Structure 1
Amino acid sequence: MIIPKRSSGILLHITSLPSPYGIGDLGPEAYKFADLLEEAGQRYWQILPLNPTEVGSGSSPYSSHSAFAGNPLLLSPDLLLKEELVKEEDLAQRPHFPDDKVDFPAVTDFKRNIWFKAYATFKSRPNEELRQAFRAFREKHWSWLEDYSQFVVFKNHFEQKSWVEWPGELKQRHKGAMHALAQELENDIEREQFLQFLFYRQWEKLKAYCHLKDITFIGDMPFYVSHDSADVWAHPQLFKLDKEGMPEAVSGVPPDYFSETGQLWGSPVYDWKALERREYDWWIDRVLHNLQLFGLLRLDHFRAFSAYWEIPAGEKTAMNGKWVQSPGKELLTIIKNKCPDMPIIAEDLGEIDQPVRDLMQEFGLPGMRVLLFAFGDDLPHSIYAPHHHIQNSIVYTGTHDNSTVRAWYENESGAESQARLREYSHTSLTKENAHEVMGRLAYMSVAQLAVLPIQDVLGLGAESIMNKPSTTENNWTWRLKPHYFEKKDAQKLYKIVKLYGR
């Protein structure tokens, strides 16, 4: 079992931390949150993907232009100040940011200015220790760093056009043309590499601090990558693309209870035959890269490791797709050979068939049990109901894609589901205590790990939902206001941890 003892954790993405700079980052508030996790008896901190986000893609961490790079927006200006890469007056020039949500365009403008100053300081000041560390970082990560930094800078040079709209010799990666443009934009490319160096430096320090407190990060890895990404531009042969570089088939999920036309995600699907010829090297590198960043890794859309929904390019909905087998067993076998303890969680929510369950069983992967799904009319038989939980699983009140418990109770549950929860928990239920009732059900479950979104620890409502699937407005922006989660909250949670042996 990958979770060695009965334990608990909190789900809070880095961007949602308090910060005076408009977005949560890897600085002081992250360390303060780690202190509070320790005080609350928590052993896990679950986050969303750390890859770069783009305003044009709704700033979703699941839609990135790199499967390997870190998000420079998460760099802490305070830590850059500590390293004397920026000055106090640089930070004092920040605009007034809201403290309850991220204004991504405004944050990006401010942070870009900070990045430029940090890099200019690095270039102008002889700091041999920093230079050596930067050289070592470039050497270690060159396999993806060169492509990523060139992609970002070339895309900027071509006014944010997709790589398929670049001049032919750059679109097709002719060495001479790439070398010539890379030389012309050499400083910009090095700056992008330096930002990645700073990101990984700050991340590793935070991870080490958490490790000292016996707190493990649970990371998250999307199954697909964006078409307009460094990965697809650098490895077009690994995806089903036509000769112009456009997808021949795209990803999504079929029609279901939640959507009668399915979900059309639009990212290119993999050419598994091409990947097989290379022993799945790019995929394996990606998983191992994530396993170096996190103690546990959640594989998003795990059902695609068994079969995935492939939709012909050009379709307006996901209705006309088909199921295609994927070589998940081969991938997981290679991963297990390279990483025998297999610290992987399967995101097994939604319509899951027996072959997916068999795959999880074969590799001993824990799945997810979400309590918000438990109290429908199938409660007695639902796998999400606590009486059907198994030890090798992770129980959640909800995930980043769900309502908060309070919002569910107030706006979605209906009288019948409320009555079931009331009877099941044998508690007098109100909108003020629904989150506590649901939290206790999670903690008393036999599931080895219980994870509560911070919103459900605090009983926050609809204004605190992180993401509403199938919508594009106002997602991923929620932030935890300063002083919302403090010592008294941590101590209250600690009592429940002790009570239920977590």
Structure 2
Amino acid sequence: MTFQRQSGVFLHQTSLPGPHGIGDLGAGARAFVDFLDRADQSLWQFCPLGPTSSVHGNSPYQSSSAFAGNPLLVDLRALVDRGYLSEAEVEPPEDVSPHRVAYDRVTEFKTARLRTAYAAFEENADDADRQSFAEFCDREAGWLDDYALFTALKAEFDGAGWMDWPDDIRTREPDALERYRDELADDVRYHKFVQWCFDSQWRALAEYAAERDIGLVGDLPIYVGLDSADVWAYPEVFRLDDDHQPAEVAGVPPNPGDDGQRWGNPVYDWETLREDGYGWWVDRFERLFDLVDVARIDHFKGFDEFWSIPAEADDPAAGQWRDGPGAHFFETVEAELGELPFLVEDLGFLDEGIVALRDRFGFPGMRVPQYADWCEEGHMYQPMHYPEQSVGYTSTHDTDTVVGYYRDLSDRQRDCLHYNLGTDGEEINWDLIEAVWNSNAAVAMTTVQDLLGLDSDTRFNVPGTATGNWQWRVTEAALDEEVAERLRRVTDRTIR
């Protein structure tokens, strides 16, 4: 796909302004869209939207569903407007911060109010809302029925992973499925109600953005969490053993200077998937592009070849490379869905196979100046050398902020950066924004942290750490006219 010359800003929804301790799909989201509009931006990028869990550090990349939305993002004020909550019930809790998400407190607060809203819906909903809910349940039944039952079962078994449930429901014996659907019918319906709230609010937000010509850039993790509705409901999609436990898990091999990583996600049974035309993936893409306009594929390398580690092995070095589905996968999906508006994460694994696969379908790869050797002439991550078919980022959700990165550079690299960019580094965040915006990359992206010139204590995630991530938030006051106007001027000057 060919992208026009444009630009945008990354900010995950949890980082939005809002009264209830976490960003949501309400007024704070619209305020950010308005900020993008004032800044003359055309893209809003964010992390995956699925439900998160404290068990996995609240990472959006370890979700319990590849299809569902995160209940914590539901705007409670909208439920007041619908008559399902009172003003008193959405009074903001005193013990939450406008600057960081306290997930445990937010989960407790919002879950209680979503339960109250559900009870009010069951008792008082008008015909239009009941019809809308019924239509949503029917339209999304392919994933919603299993997700809602899975989530109800998690509560029934005190949060235990499905791998530890009683054998009959763990292996989805029909009698057990029917029995639990009856016993947990109200809880199942509640989880469907929450997803209806998310879906309807998301569509309203997407329409608000579209009216201002702002496209939504989602994120597609190649793998799903082991303890997810996806693996429980579709075991044939993954390489599991006869007892429905992972036979192999994903990771990356050791490289010079590190020991590799064992992620623990089950890997796909690509041979089985190929036999049915990658049906589960087609469904996943259909849901994704029903919600967003463009998507970034995380760990694109895995579609070319993937590192597969025996489940019983703790050492990533015990794994081996296996062939991914390659071009056949994208050809099949493209024939089913049409042109695929993907950006791809190709950082760190640029071998011939991934480059050929990426370029065959015209997917722009990523370029991040924080990976540049500023003293090497023509280095691929220096903005002046970005190809047109690429996406340039000042930083990403996984990197340090520009200010933090610059502070930690060696004296030599800092001097070379100054020389290459013609700067003294006093406003290094705007220097790199200008450099990326001025590059040949079709798409230029920055983060709110870089727009505001913030340091490392505001970075969103530190890969390889389990706590303290995904918490940073911006206030509405910080998204001021001066910042928007400055970004607008850079954007206009660089013809984006």
**1:405 pairs with 2:402:** yes
Q: Quick one: which of 387, 407, 420 aligns to 1:390?
A: 387
1 CA distance for matches of 2:252 and 2:289? 27
Amino acid at match of 2:416: R
What SS does structure 2 have at the residue aligned with 1:380? coil
2 CA distance for matches of 1:218 and 1:501? 20
**1:230 pairs with 2:224:** no
Amino acid at match of 1:334: T
Amino acid at match of 2:138: E
2 CA distance for matches of 1:465 and 1:49? 17
Q: Which runs of 4+ in 1 moved over 3 A?
A: none
Contact kept, 8 Å, 1:284 with 1:331, in 2: the verdict is no
Number of the residue aligned with 2:435: 441
Contact kept, 8 Å, 1:374 with 1:385, in 2: the verdict is yes
2 CA distance for matches of 1:25 and 1:2? 32
**1:89 pairs with 2:56:** no
**106-115 vs 177-186, which moves further:** 177-186
2 CA distance for matches of 1:200 and 1:126? 17
Number of the residue aligned with 1:367: 365
2 CA distance for matches of 1:442 and 1:54? 35
Contact kept, 8 Å, 2:303 with 2:324, in 1: the verdict is yes
Alpha-carbon deviations, 1:268-298, whole Å to 9, x = none? 1111121122211001211221112111011
2 CA distance for matches of 1:246 and 1:452? 41
**1:219 pairs with 2:218:** yes
What SS does structure 2 have at the residue aligned with 1:287? helix
Amino acid at match of 1:401: D
1 CA distance for matches of 2:327 and 2:360? 9
Amino acid at match of 1:244: D
What SS does structure 2 have at the residue aligned with 1:110? helix
Contact kept, 8 Å, 1:64 with 1:229, in 2: the verdict is yes
Identity %: 36
Gap change, CA 1:126 and 1:297, over 3 Å in 2:
closer
Contact kept, 8 Å, 2:368 with 2:392, in 1: the verdict is yes
**1:314 pairs with 2:312:** yes
Number of the residue aligned with 1:280: 278
Deviation at 1:140, TM superposition (A): 0.5
Contact kept, 8 Å, 2:384 with 2:435, in 1: the verdict is no
Alpha-carbon deviations, 1:328-387, whole Å to 9, x = none? 31111122213333211111111221110001111111111111112344x323211123
Number of the residue aligned with 1:105: 104
Contact kept, 8 Å, 1:59 with 1:476, in 2: the verdict is yes
1 CA distance for matches of 2:2 and 2:11? 21
**325-334 vs 187-196, which moves further:** 325-334
Number of the residue aligned with 1:490: 484
Number of the residue aligned with 1:153: 152
1 CA distance for matches of 2:79 and 2:356? 48
Alpha-carbon deviations, 1:22-48, whole Å to 9, x = none? 000000010011011001000000010
Number of the residue aligned with 1:168: 167
Number of the residue aligned with 2:22: 23
What SS does structure 2 have at the residue aligned with 1:178? helix
2 CA distance for matches of 1:467 and 1:314? 28
Contact kept, 8 Å, 1:18 with 1:482, in 2: the verdict is yes
1 CA distance for matches of 2:75 and 2:412? 47
Alpha-carbon deviations, 1:169-207, whole Å to 9, x = none? 111111112111211111110000010011000000000
2 CA distance for matches of 1:386 and 1:158? 52
Q: How does 1:87-486 map to 2 (within 5 A)?
A: 87-92=86-91, 94-257=93-256, 260-377=258-375, 379-410=376-407, 412-430=408-426, 433-486=427-480
Alpha-carbon deviations, 1:140-170, whole Å to 9, x = none? 0000000000000011101111112111111
2 CA distance for matches of 1:102 and 1:161? 25
What SS does structure 2 have at the residue aligned with 1:450? strand
1 CA distance for matches of 2:109 and 2:125? 26
For structure 1, the residue ranges without an aligned partner over 5 or more in a row are none
Deviation at 1:71, TM superposition (A): 0.4
Contact kept, 8 Å, 2:20 with 2:92, in 1: the verdict is no
Deviation at 1:477, TM superposition (A): 0.8
Number of the residue aligned with 2:2: 2
Amino acid at match of 2:2: I
What SS does structure 2 have at the residue aligned with 1:381? coil
* Superposition RMSD in Å: 1.2
Amino acid at match of 2:468: N
1 CA distance for matches of 2:249 and 2:300? 17
What SS does structure 2 have at the residue aligned with 1:319? helix
Contact kept, 8 Å, 1:16 with 1:24, in 2: the verdict is yes
Deviation at 1:79, TM superposition (A): 1.3
Alpha-carbon deviations, 1:50-108, whole Å to 9, x = none? 00000101100000111100001000111111111111110126242011111111100
Contact kept, 8 Å, 1:75 with 1:198, in 2: the verdict is yes
For structure 2, the residue ranges without an aligned partner over 5 or more in a row are none
What SS does structure 1 have at the residue aligned with 2:356? helix
Contact kept, 8 Å, 1:99 with 1:482, in 2: the verdict is no
What SS does structure 1 have at the residue aligned with 2:249? strand
Contact kept, 8 Å, 1:27 with 1:76, in 2: the verdict is yes
Number of the residue aligned with 1:68: 67
